[in-house]
């Protein structure tokens, strides 16, 4: 079976790639485009490490075919900072020591960004439930939740 | 002597919350983990695994797979050379079965192909002829004299008679007269406990990229807690010189002990050797659960006597642990740690290690201690309830302290348990009011902590900046702590120091990142390396000034004349000395190599409030506080992180995590859907209270903090749940069906 | 039991405490005396005087000296009045 | 494997007819892709229905609502009007998977996956929802309760697929609720679940009720005796006890890695009781 030609936009720039029909968006991002900031932790939508946005909607890129990305706007961790300037969420994760091993961090950041765009003033409980699909095994989530709430507060002040 | 290392000082850098140098890479996606490396000409490796818990491999036909276009190599157990008995041989046989498949998921063959799709197709073309054998996955079944024997030839010399050949080692510790002790008690109780096998649950699956050269040298990129140990094991398994194999550790996506050994690396190397091309091998999540190294499951019996005023008069425990199809020493640590928190006149523990048809266990944070201490702390709590005594008072009354003879043998030097208990007692959490269906649990925990082989090289670069080269994968922020200690010792700004984790070809041996050793041991070696560099810089300054080197001292990042008699010279800064170093004798470095001792044992106390739904058995953790002696906390935020992370893992262990096997001995929950680790909405904030009781074995008083935090939560939660429902729980996990059954009187 | 040890006369005798399951190798003794001034000498003397301890010594041992655990550093000095406890080789997670 | 992304229902019907059973419909893919990756299924053709405009819409129809088969959980839950009418279904739909899964999962997909533990299905059954099915012989409407026939099996004929779900118009003082039991707070499959939809009269007496249970039988159960327990009552203690008893009796669960028979039977009654109370409170508020 021949490959599918997919034209898409990734982090605001046009991108195209060839993929197999059964290839996931995660595989295309990592293995075709070498955007390895998006991680695979489970391949079954249970861990959130592969979180990206598709047309502004948070999804698990391991549960989406690459072919479905035709014409879509994809957002990945690589697009979060503006050049050398970190996004406020990235800055707060560093400040709060909200990462230890860091493998889940890209997924948490992409998911948190999607949350704050939808809800700029979430409660602790709302943050915890929104991020329930992002597993972290190092931190016990404590510092992650604090970092997201602090980022939200700073964004509201700005 | 290691106990003399500590000197009190006022810290300038240590103790602050500095920005972590690798954090930027990790929040931007730039950091490269095991599966993130791509090299030209790279093949994809995949492993075929046994669907049977125990089966003789009668034949493997790989011809159809080899004939498939795009397949470059197929490997089976027959490809690996014979080696002497020992851990490397166990690892070899675990990473690729030879005569028998020993558990569901045991590797039986592997392929390397030009794409993942072809590799997957090739696996389906491999024909394995199995003779299914009777299997055994549960401890008590495996110990019976007529049990199916998992592997022969591992029984140690001192195992008592009457068991199957699966009982391979026996360990007994203790002292004193048990009978006399129990006779003094007002109440003696005997209780049996079970804990399920759990998994470390790191989010990054194992990954390795191996590249074997035609000249017999090889490179390996791998996510591991210890790339030197990976090199040692792989070199022995492939029968090559260690120097011919260069191993580079990627950034590591969690380990907690589970990445302290090899599960796929020798296979990746063998595939690459046969294919003549680089091979990347990445486990799926299902493979991680089935074929990496979960922790042991346990069956434990504890007998304890207490007077009505709360003094423990005697205690004993028998521990049965299974850690899969290969030998391990985890039960030994359980037997040593079980009563380590207590000052006991009469104590004995007996540990039995049992083989089963399950994956080869690996270390998991304080290996062996959590389940043993869970059982002991549950019994202490039950006796506290029996006599209506405050559980922290009783623990203080019996707490081990300086001069106590530890249940595992030695007499304790200064230790922090009493201070930790007192901190817990004084904390507002302990006296906060509770709501309906809520209860509070407390428990203590203990871990040994280790040091071990460590090499550090510290170079003073020509511009006066500092590169610290170390060899321990940074699993949770160790580079920032190492850089802080270097800056502290040299008196230079933290920002001018960079700590780098290097490959096995660039620095002497380093033991695995385990045993809570890195901040302690690598920190110690870094400080000593910095001191060596300072001495050299003083020598250079002495030469420049033309005075005796003893007349130069190092202060605030500068060489200075020692006093008025030394001569009147302007201080030479590190920048000035570095800039002139070519002309004063050559580049300046300090280095230190040591088998670090004096890590110092560690204690923790946890308090949990839970709310149990009496109609469903659902447990909600409503408040949680951790108290732990960290020695000097170099970077408090990452110390808190270790304590919080350990607590969260322990909460998962207590409530929901377990390996579940079916009748055929197959693991039925090899994924994050049904292996239920805590999610963000399951937990409250976890308050971490750091006690800083300096460790005399470290120049700055640092103590390991990585492991102890997972020990107390099991009993803390069990004690809280038991008090909330008014019935004692004896098995982990305390899943809702078990709790509801207990509530209903089952 | 092994033949009488040949040691220089100046070596002090050190008491070494054993864990329970090793006592079968020492005729039930919880504590044995060996002539030694450092870690290595302790282990060598134990292996020589109590051959039944050799399998465990080969698997690896640590020593707790005055309450501090030394993993396997041979030349760690030991004072005659030190408390010395044999321990298994320690590792962690 | 082939991936198709048609833009009309007719094209889907044609593609499915041509594929002769070797095709699968791809909506959110949150179950389908997992099953493909674990080698449980290996379709030759995937027909993506998300590029068909009318399947992505929520529209008013005869006082009720028609929800396109490709509407995701996140889209549904952002639709304030439908959530006001069917808060129980909204919470059931929202409980499927994580936020990431919400961005993709659909009611039709949850229904066609035919898991007895599917969260949205008891709520749809309680709501008396109707699936519109397109196929080689045209279009037919099938009550949701009749779609699953066993774990992983549906009553859909070869070449048929669901194009939309219809929720009937709401009588005054009506409301629904859905509760499930899971060991954690999120990310688990329901161990037992209950959806309740009811209507009260002006005095607060229950005049209509549907109670559906999940994960306690091979398919979602509509419990007639539970209806009988509620009708004519004000959901007092005795009525709720009778409801719980009816649900416990109707349940025929299995022991598995997620729960025991005993546990599921006990808990499903508790959930039904609690869900009925929530629905009652909501119905009273809607007065």
What pLDDT digit, counting tens, does each position of B78-108 carry?
A: 999 999 999 999 999 999 999 999 999 999 9
CATH architecture designation of domain B297-449+600-743: 2-Layer Sandwich (3.30)
Q: Measured between alpha carbons, how far apart are the two ends of chain D, in Å?
A: 54
Let me know if the fold of B2-31+451-596 is the same as that of B297-449+600-743.
yes
Percent of chain B past pLDDT 90, that is, above it, reads 96
A102 pLDDT more than 90: yes
The answer to whether position C36 is within a domain reads yes
- Over residues A104-125, the mean pLDDT reads 98
Q: For residue B204, name the pLDDT band (cuts at 50, 70, 90).
A: very high
B681 pLDDT more than 60: yes
ipTM of the complex: 0.97
Q: What is the pLDDT of residue B66?
A: 98
Give contacts of D100 with chain B, Cβ < 8 Å: none
Q: For residue C1, name the pLDDT band (cuts at 50, 70, 90).
A: very low
Report the 3 state secondary structure along B542-604: HHHHCCCHHHEEEECCEEEECCHHHCCCCCEEHHHHHHCHHHHCCCEEEEEEEEECCCCCEEE
What is the number of structural domains in chain D?
2
**C contact chains, 3+ CB pairs < 8 A:** B
For the four alpha carbons of D113, D118, D120 and D124, in that order, the dihedral sign comes to positive
Q: What is the pLDDT of residue C71?
A: 81
Best A68, A111, A113, A115 residue to mutate vs chain D (most D CBs within 10 Å): A68
Distance CA D214, CA D110 (A): 13
What pLDDT digit, counting tens, does each position of A25-45 carry?
A: 999 999 999 999 999 999 999
Contact B497, B465 (CB under 8 A): yes
Determine phi and psi for B738, rounding to 5 degrees.
-70, -40
Q: Are A44 and B19 an interchain contact pair (Cβ–Cβ within 8 Å)?
A: no
- Over residues B457-463, the mean pLDDT reads 98
How far A91 CA lies from chain D's nearest CA (Å)? 23
The answer to whether position C2 is within a domain reads no
Q: What is the pLDDT of residue D264?
A: 98
Task: Please check whether residues D25 and D153 belong to one and the same domain.
Answer: yes
Q: What is the pLDDT of residue B570?
A: 95
Q: What is the pLDDT of residue B494?
A: 97
Is the full-model pTM beyond 0.90?
Answer: yes
What pLDDT digit, counting tens, does each position of D144-157 carry?
A: 999 999 999 999 99
What pLDDT digit, counting tens, does each position of C68-91 carry?
A: 888 878 899 999 999 999 998 876
Q: Which of A79, A100, A123 is the last residue of a domain?
A: A79
The answer to whether position C1 is within a domain reads no
What pLDDT digit, counting tens, does each position of B598-607 carry?
A: 888 999 999 9
What is the number of structural domains in chain A?
2
Q: Which of B80, B81, B73, B72 is nearest to B96 (CA)?
A: B80
Task: Please check whether residues D97 and D201 belong to one and the same domain.
Answer: no
Distance CA A13, CA D147 (A): 44
Domain region containing A41:
4-79
What pLDDT digit, counting tens, does each position of B420-456 carry?
A: 999 999 999 999 999 999 999 999 999 999 899 999 9
Q: For residue D277, name the pLDDT band (cuts at 50, 70, 90).
A: very high
Q: Are B740 and D189 an interchain contact pair (Cβ–Cβ within 8 Å)?
A: no
How far B18 CA lies from chain A's nearest CA (Å)? 8
The answer to whether position C34 is within a domain reads yes
Between the alpha carbon of residue A69 and those of residues A13, A18, A48, B248, the distances in Å are 14, 12, 19, 35
Q: Which of A54, A79, A104 is the last residue of a domain?
A: A79
B237 pLDDT more than 80: yes
Contact B46, B119 (CB under 8 A): yes
For the four alpha carbons of B48, B52, B58 and B64, in that order, the dihedral sign comes to negative
Q: What is the pLDDT of residue B260?
A: 96
Q: Where are the domains of chain B?
A: 2-31+451-596, 42-133+205-252+259-291, 297-449+600-743
Give contacts of D33 with chain A, Cβ < 8 Å: 24, 62-65
Query: Exposed/middle/buried for B176, CB within 10 Å: 0-12, 13-18, 19+?
Result: middle
| Cβ-based neighbours of B25, under 8 Å, separated by 6 or more | A102, B31, B251
Out of B286, B678, B740, the one facing D263 most closely (by C-beta) is B740
Q: Which of B202, B22, B640, B29 is nearest to A108 (CA)?
A: B29
D65 pLDDT more than 70: yes
Question: What single DSSP character describes residue B515?
Answer: T
Q: For residue B3, name the pLDDT band (cuts at 50, 70, 90).
A: low
- Backbone Cα Rg of chain B: 27
What pLDDT digit, counting tens, does each position of B695-744 carry?
A: 999 999 999 999 999 999 999 999 999 999 999 999 999 999 999 999 99
Q: Read off the CATH number of the domain in which C39 is found.
A: 3.10.20.30
C5 pLDDT more than 80: no
Domain B42-133+205-252+259-291 sits in which CATH superfamily?
Answer: Aldehyde oxidase/xanthine dehydrogenase, a/b hammerhead (3.90.1170.50)
Task: Please check whether residues A118 and A137 belong to one and the same domain.
Answer: yes
Task: Please check whether residues A148 and A95 belong to one and the same domain.
Answer: yes
Q: For residue A2, name the pLDDT band (cuts at 50, 70, 90).
A: confident
Residue spans of alpha helices (H) in A3-141: 25-27, 88-95, 105-118, 124-130
Q: What is the pLDDT of residue C9?
A: 57
D287 pLDDT more than 70: no
Q: Tokens for B496? A: 């001018």
Task: Please check whether residues D134 and D271 belong to one and the same domain.
Answer: no
Domain region containing D89:
2-50+58-167
Helix B227-238 to helix B87-95 angle, to the nearest 10 degrees?
A: 80
Q: What is the pLDDT of residue D286?
A: 84
Contact B107, B95 (CB under 8 A): yes
Task: Please check whether residues A70 and A93 belong to one and the same domain.
Answer: no
Task: Please check whether residues D133 and D188 belong to one and the same domain.
Answer: no
- Over residues B313-332, the mean pLDDT reads 97
The answer to whether position C77 is within a domain reads yes
| Cβ-based neighbours of B508, under 8 Å, separated by 6 or more | B455, B471, B593
Best D98, D106, D109, D110 residue to mutate vs chain A (most A CBs within 10 Å): D98
Helix D261-285 to helix D237-250 angle, to the nearest 10 degrees?
A: 140
Determine phi and psi for B203, rounding to 5 degrees.
-80, -25
- Over residues A71-88, the mean pLDDT reads 97
Give contacts of D37 with chain A, Cβ < 8 Å: 43-44
Q: Which of A19, A48, A79 is the last residue of a domain?
A: A79
Q: What is the pLDDT of residue B546?
A: 95
Half-sphere exposure of B139 (CA within 13 A, CB side): 20
Determine phi and psi for B395, rounding to 5 degrees.
-65, -40
Give contacts of B201 with chain A, Cβ < 8 Å: 135, 137
C4 pLDDT more than 60: no
- When the candidates are 3.20.19.10, 3.30.365.10, 3.30.465.10, 3.30.1490.100, the CATH number that belongs to B2-31+451-596 is 3.30.365.10
Task: Please check whether residues D132 and D202 belong to one and the same domain.
Answer: no
What pLDDT digit, counting tens, does each position of D84-128 carry?
A: 999 999 999 999 999 999 999 999 999 999 999 999 999 999 999
Specify the pairing of strand D206-214 against strand D221-222: antiparallel
- Taking the Cβ of residue B202 and every Cβ of chain A, the question of whether any pair is shorter than 8 Å is answered with yes
């Amino acid at each position: 079976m021949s490959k599918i030609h997919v034209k898409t936009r990734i982090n605001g720039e046009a991108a195209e790639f060839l993929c197999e029909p059964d290839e996931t968006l995660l595989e295309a991002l990592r293995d075709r485009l070498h955007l390895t900031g998006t991680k695979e932790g489970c391949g079954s939508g249970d861990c959130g490490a592969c979180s990206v946005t598709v047309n502004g909607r948070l999804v698990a890129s391991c549960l989406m075919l690459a072919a479905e990305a035709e014409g879509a706007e994809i957002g990945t961790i690589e697009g979060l900072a503006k050049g050398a300037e970190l996004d406020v969420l990235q800055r707060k994760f560093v400040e709060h020591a909200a990462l230890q091993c860091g493998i889940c961090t890209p997924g948490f950041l992409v998911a948190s960004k999607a949350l704050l765009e939808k809800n700029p003033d979430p409660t602790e409980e709302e943050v915890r439930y929104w991020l329930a699909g992002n597993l972290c095994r190092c931190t016990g989530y404590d510092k992650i939740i604090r970092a997201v709430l602090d980022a939200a507060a700073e964004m509201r002040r700005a | 002597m290691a106990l003399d290392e500590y000197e009190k000082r006022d810290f300038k850098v240590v103790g602050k919350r500095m920005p972590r140098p690798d954090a930027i890479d990790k929040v931007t996606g730039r950091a490269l983990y095991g599966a993130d490396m791509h090299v030209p000409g790279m093949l994809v490796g995949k492993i075929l695994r046994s669907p049977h818990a125990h089966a003789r491999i009668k034949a493997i036909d790989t011809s159809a797979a080899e004939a498939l276009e795009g397949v470059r190599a197929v490997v089976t157990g027959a490809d690996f050379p014979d080696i002497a008995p020992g851990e490397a041989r166990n690892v070899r046989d675990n990473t690729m079965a030879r005569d028998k498949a020993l558990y569901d998921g045991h590797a039986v063959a592997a392929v390397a192909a030009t794409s993942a799709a072809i590799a997957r197709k090739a696996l389906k073309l491999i024909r394995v002829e199995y003779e299914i054998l009777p299997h055994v996955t549960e401890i008590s079944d495996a110990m019976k004299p007529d049990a199916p024997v998992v592997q022969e030839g591992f029984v140690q010399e001192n195992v008592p008679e009457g068991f199957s050949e699966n009982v391979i080692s026996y360990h007994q510790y203790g002292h004193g007269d048990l009978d006399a002790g129990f006779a003094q008690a007002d109440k003696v109780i005997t209780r049996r406990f079970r804990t399920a096998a759990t998994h470390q649950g790191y989010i990054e699956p194992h990954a390795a990229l191996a590249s074997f050269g035609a000249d017999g040298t090889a490179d390996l990129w791998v996510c591991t807690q210890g790339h030197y140990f990976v090199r040692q094991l792989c070199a022995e398994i492939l029968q090559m010189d260690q120097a011919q194999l260069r191993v580079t550790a990627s950034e590591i996506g969690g380990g907690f002990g589970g990445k302290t050994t090899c599960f796929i690396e020798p296979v990746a190397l063998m595939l690459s050797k046969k294919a003549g091309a680089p091979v990347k091998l990445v486990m799926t999540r299902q493979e991680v659960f089935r074929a990496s190294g979960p922790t042991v499951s346990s069956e434990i019996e504890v007998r304890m006597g207490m007077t009505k005023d709360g003094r423990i008069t005697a205690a004993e425990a028998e521990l049965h642990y299974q850690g899969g199809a290969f030998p391990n020493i985890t039960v030994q640590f359980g037997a040593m740690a079980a009563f380590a928190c207590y000052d006991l006149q009469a104590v004995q523990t007996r540990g039995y290690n049992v083989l089963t048809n399950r994956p080869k266990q690996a270390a998991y944070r304080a290996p062996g201690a959590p389940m043993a201490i869970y059982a002991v702390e549950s019994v202490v709590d039950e006796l506290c309830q029996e006599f209506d005594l405050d559980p922290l008072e009783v623990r203080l009354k019996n707490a081990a302290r300086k001069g106590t003879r530890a249940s595992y043998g030695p007499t304790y030097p200064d230790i922090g348990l009493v201070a930790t208990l007192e901190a817990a007692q004084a904390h507002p959490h302990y006296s906060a009011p509770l709501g309906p269906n809520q209860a509070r649990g407390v428990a203590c925990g203990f871990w040994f902590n280790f040091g071990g082989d460590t090499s550090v090289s510290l170079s003073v670069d020509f511009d006066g900046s500092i590169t610290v080269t170390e060899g321990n994968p940074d699993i949770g922020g160790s580079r920032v702590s190492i850089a802080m200690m270097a800056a502290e010792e040299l008196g230079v700004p933290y920002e001018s120091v960079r700590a780098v984790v290097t490959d096995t070809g660039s620095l002497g041996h380093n033991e695995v990142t385990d045993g809570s050793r890195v901040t302690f041991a690598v920190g110690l070696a870094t400080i000593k390396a910095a001191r060596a560099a300072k001495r050299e810089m003083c020598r250079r300054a002495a030469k420049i000034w033309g005075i005796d080197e003893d007349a130069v001292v190092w202060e605030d990042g500068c060489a200075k004349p020692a006093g008025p008699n030394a001569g009147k010279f302007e201080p030479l800064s590190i920048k000035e000395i570095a800039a002139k170093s070519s002309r004063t004798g050559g580049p300046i470095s300090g280095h230190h190599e040591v088998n670090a001792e004096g890590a110092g044992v560690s204690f923790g106390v946890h308090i949990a409030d839970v709310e149990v739904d009496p109609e469903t058995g659902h447990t909600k953790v409503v408040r949680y506080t951790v108290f732990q002696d960290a020695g000097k906390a170099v970077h408090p935020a990452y110390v808190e992180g270790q304590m919080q992370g350990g607590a969260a893992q322990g909460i998962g262990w207590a409530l929901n995590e377990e390996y579940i096997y079916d009748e055929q001995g197959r693991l039925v929950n090899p994924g994050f859907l049904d292996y239920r680790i805590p999610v963000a909405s399951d937990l409250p904030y976890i308050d971490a209270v750091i006690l800083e009781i300096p460790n005399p074995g470290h120049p700055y008083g640092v103590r390991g903090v990585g492991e102890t935090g997972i020990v107390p939560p099991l009993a803390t939660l069990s004690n809280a749940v038991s008090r909330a429902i008014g019935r004692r729980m004896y098995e982990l996990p305390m899943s809702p069906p078990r709790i509801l059954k207990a509530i209903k009187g089952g | 039991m092994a033949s009488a040890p040949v040691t220089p006369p100046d070596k002090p005798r050190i008491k070494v405490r054993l864990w329970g399951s090793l006592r079968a190798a020492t005729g039930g003794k919880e504590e044995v005396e060996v002539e030694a001034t450092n870690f290595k000498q302790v282990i060598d003397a134990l292996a020589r005087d109590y051959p039944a301890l050799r399998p465990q010594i080969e698997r690896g041992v640590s020593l707790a000296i005055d309450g501090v655990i030394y993993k396997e550093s041979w030349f760690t000095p030991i004072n005659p009045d030190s408390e010395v406890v044999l321990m298994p080789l320690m590792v962690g997670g | 494997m082939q991936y198709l992304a048609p833009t009309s229902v007719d094209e889907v019907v044609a593609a499915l007819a041509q594929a002769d059973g070797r095709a699968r419909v791809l909506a959110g893919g949150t179950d389908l892709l997992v099953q493909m990756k674990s080698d449980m299924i290996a379709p030759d053709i995937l027909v993506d229905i998300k590029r068909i405009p009318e399947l992505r819409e929520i529209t008013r129809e005869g006082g009720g609502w028609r929800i396109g088969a490709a509407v995701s959980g996140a889209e549904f839950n952002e639709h304030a009007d439908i959530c006001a009418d069917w808060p129980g279904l909204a919470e059931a739909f929202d409980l499927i998977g994580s936020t990431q899964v919400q961005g993709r999962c659909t009611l039709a997909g949850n229904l066609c996956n035919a898991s007895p533990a599917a969260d949205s299905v008891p709520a749809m059954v309680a709501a008396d929802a109707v699936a519109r099915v397109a196929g080689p012989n045209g279009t037919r409407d099938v009550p949701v309760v009749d779609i699953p026939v066993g774990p992983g099996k549906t009553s859909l004929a070869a070449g048929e697929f669901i194009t939309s779900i219809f929720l009937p118009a709401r009588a005054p003082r009506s409301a629904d609720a859905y509760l499930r039991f899971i060991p954690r707070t999120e990310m688990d499959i329901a161990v037992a679940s209950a959806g309740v939809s009811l209507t009260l009269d002006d005095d607060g007496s229950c005049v209509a009720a549907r109670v559906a249970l999940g994960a306690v039988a091979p398919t979602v159960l509509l419990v007639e005796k539970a209806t009988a327990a509620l009708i004519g009552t004000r959901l007092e203690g005795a009525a709720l006890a009778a409801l719980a008893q009816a649900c416990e009796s109707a349940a025929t669960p299995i022991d598995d890695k997620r729960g025991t028979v005993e546990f599921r039977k006990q808990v499903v009654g508790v959930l039904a009781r609690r869900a009925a109370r929530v629905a009652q409170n909501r119905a009273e508020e809607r007065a």
